[in-house]
Amino acid sequence: MKSFVSAFFMMFVFGGCVSSSLSLQEPQGIVLTQERQTIVTQAQVEEKIMLRFTNLDVTQIRVSNAAKEKLFFEELEANHDYEFKYATVETLKRVFDLSYSRTLYQSSSLLFVQLQRKDGSYINILAEKSSFQRLSYVYGYSNAAFEALAQELGVVLQTSHTNILAFEEPQTQWSQSDMFLNPLVQPIYRKYGIAF
């Protein structure tokens, strides 16, 4: 009886969670799934780079969509016994080395956000954090494309800044020294105050 109640409780708790995923699948393109809805952005891979840091792996992919706009898909995955040290927006600010952010929409795991660059322009980012060990995001969207994607999901975004920069190269900042001095991940036990 106890196991039945436990199983029922787990189904109730996890059944109520909004599930989403963001991935790049060849040859389809960027695939976003939220609950039972799937949106595919046709995109052709132009370049793929794998970066390995201590306790963090980064996949960086440049793609070109049907309108020939450059989009950048990145996936961060913490190693086995590590998790992200910061909340999603703070992690993105550190990855892009930018300090001002504006969240346009946020659900349990999906996030539409704008980061302000030092020149005053903005970067539109769609991010999805499926666990404490994995974060995926796509950036490079124009405002029109960003808002169209949100509409397909039935999401209403807050008013977005219009000074959006288009770029050809990745805007994220990755270096061994930064990852050593300011790691994005921490051992899982540290979060709970356990030290070995």
Domain extents in the chain = 19-192
Which one-letter DSSP state was computed for residue 59? E
pLDDT for res 160: 74
How far from chain centre, in Å, is Cα 74?
Answer: 7
What is the model's pTM? 0.84
pLDDT exceeds cutoff 80 at 135? yes
For residues 75 and 128, what is the distance between their CA atoms, to the nearest angstrom? 10
Output the pLDDT for position 1: 44
What is the rounded average pLDDT for all residues in the chain? 84
User: pLDDT at residue 6 above 50?
Assistant: no
What is the β-pairing status of strands 20-25 and 29-34? antiparallel
Strands (E), 79-196: 82-84, 100-106, 110-116, 122-131, 134-139, 185-187
Q: What six digits make up the tokens of 138?
A: 């796509």
What does the pLDDT look like over 62-90, one tens digit per residue? 999 888 889 999 999 999 899 999 999 99
CA distances (Å), origin 30, targets 47, 116, 136:
14, 24, 11
Tokens 């891979």 -> residue? 45
- Calpha distance 162→160 (Å, rounded): 6
Residue 34 bridge partners (DSSP): 20, 37
Cβ atoms of 102 and 112 within 8 Å: the answer is: no
* Sheet bearing 110-116, strands edge to edge: 20-25, 29-34, 37-53, 56-65, 70-78, 134-139, 122-131, 110-116, 100-106
Asked if the model's pLDDT at residue 21 lies above 90, the reply is: no
Cα–Cα distance, 155 to 81 (Å, whole number): 35
